[in-house]
Amino acid sequence: MIHFDNICKRYPSGYDALNRINLRLHKGQMAFLTGHSGAGKSTLLKLIAMIERPTRGQIFLDGVNLNNISNRKIPYIRRNIGIIFQNHHLLYDRPVFDNVAMPLIIQGYRRQEIRKRVRAALNQVGLLSKEKSDPITLSGGEQQRVGIARAIIHKPLLLLADEPTGNLDPELSLEIMQLFARFNQVGTTVLIASHDLDLIKHTGFPSISLQDGQVAHNGLPFTVSNN
C-alpha cells in the first residue's frame, strides 16, 4: 500500500528531516510510527498525504508513483486517504454533522447518501447524539472523535493519524486506538504517529521507529512483497 524507496526530505531551510527511508506497509496492515520529537514522523506522513514533496526518492501509494502526480491531481490522491491531526482541524463555524460531511460533499455525493453515512460514522465514534452540536461545545476527546469520523466517512483505503491521542487521557487514548483497530479489521490500512510507547505496546501492533530522519527499527512483520 505504501512503499518508500530511498526517500530524502530536505526542507527549504536546509534541514534534512528524512534521510534514505525505505519502508513497505502492505494493504490491510496497521502500524505505529515512533521516535523522538523532531525525528521526522510528521514529515513522513506529510509526504504520503502530498502536503510535502520528497527531495529525492520515490513513494508509491497503492502502486501509484506520487512523483508522477501533478499538483492539480493531488486532490484525487487525497480522496483515498483519511487524515487525522493532533489539533483535529475542525471548523467551528458549522455543526458536527457538516464537519463530518465535508469529504462527501467535496466528492459530490447525494444528500440522502451523505445523511446516511454521516450518521453511521458518528455512530461508530459514539457521537450520534451530538450531530447538531457546535464542535466548540465538545470536549477534547469528543472533538478528536469528530475528526476521526470525518477521516473515515468516505471509506478511505489508508488512514493516517499524527498524534491522535496527544492530549487525551490514557483511557480515552486506548478507546481511540481500539477504534482504529476496528477500521483496520475491515481492511483499512492504518499508520499512526505517536509518542505513547506504553499505549503502543498495549495495543500490540508493530511499530517503526525513526531517529534523526532514519529508520532505527522496523518492527513490521516480514511478508513476501506482493507489490
Partner 1 sequence: MRNNPRKKSRLRSYFSHHLRTALASLGRLYAQPAATLMTAAVIAIALALPVGLYIALDNVAKLSSDWDGSTQISLFLHTHVKNSDAQKLMNQLQTHKQIKKIDFISKEQGLKQFRETSGFGDALKYLDSNPLPIVLVVHPKITGNKADATTLLVKELGKNKLVELAQLDVQWVKRLYTLLEIANRSIWVVSTMLAIAVLLIIGNTIRLDIQNRREEIEVSKLIGASDAFIRRPFLYTGLWYGVIGGLLATIVTLVSLALVENPIHKLALLYSSDFRLHGLGFVKTLLLILISCSLGLIGSWIAVSRHLKEIEPS
Where does this chain bind ligand ATP (CB under 6 A)?
11, 13, 15, 17, 35, 37-43
Site string for partner 1, 9-48 (x = CB under 8 A): ----------------------------------------
Interatomic CA distance for residues 195 and 222, integer angstroms = 24
Interatomic CA distance for residues 125 and 176, integer angstroms = 8
Query: What residue ranges in 80-136 does DSSP mark as E strands?
Result: 81-84
Which does residue 23 bind out of ligand ATP, partner 1, Mg ion, none, counting CB within 5 to 8 angstroms by kind? Answer: none
Which does residue 83 bind out of ligand ATP, Mg ion, partner 1, none, counting CB within 5 to 8 angstroms by kind? Answer: partner 1
- Retrieve residue 11's grid coordinates: 526542507
What distance separates the 2 farthest-apart alpha carbons in the chain?
50
Min dist CB 155 to partner 1, Å, is: 8
Q: Which is nearer to Mg ion, 118 or 208 (CB)?
A: 208
Residue 60 binds to partner 1 (criterion: CB under 8 A):
no
Sheet architecture: strand order including 189-193:
81-84, 158-162, 189-193, 30-35, 207-211, 214-218
Q: Which is nearer to partner 1, 31 or 45 (CB)?
A: 45
Which does residue 132 bind out of Mg ion, partner 1, ligand ATP, none, counting CB within 5 to 8 angstroms by kind? Answer: none
b/e for 132-146, b at 16 or more Cβ within 10 A? Answer: eeebeebeebbbbbb
Site string for partner 1, 79-98 (x = CB under 8 A): xxx-x-----x-x-x-----
Residue 34 binds to Mg ion (criterion: CB under 5 A):
no
Q: Are 50 and 66 in contact (CB under 8 A)?
A: yes
Min dist CB 45 to Mg ion, Å, is: 8
Nearest residue by C-beta to Mg ion? 42
Interatomic CA distance for residues 61 and 38, integer angstroms = 24
Min dist CB 54 to ligand ATP, Å, is: 13
Residue 165 binds to Mg ion (criterion: CB under 5 A):
no
Interatomic CA distance for residues 144 and 79, integer angstroms = 20
Sheet architecture: strand order including 2-10:
16-25, 2-10, 56-61, 64-65
Name the site residues for Mg ion (rule: CB under 5 A): 42
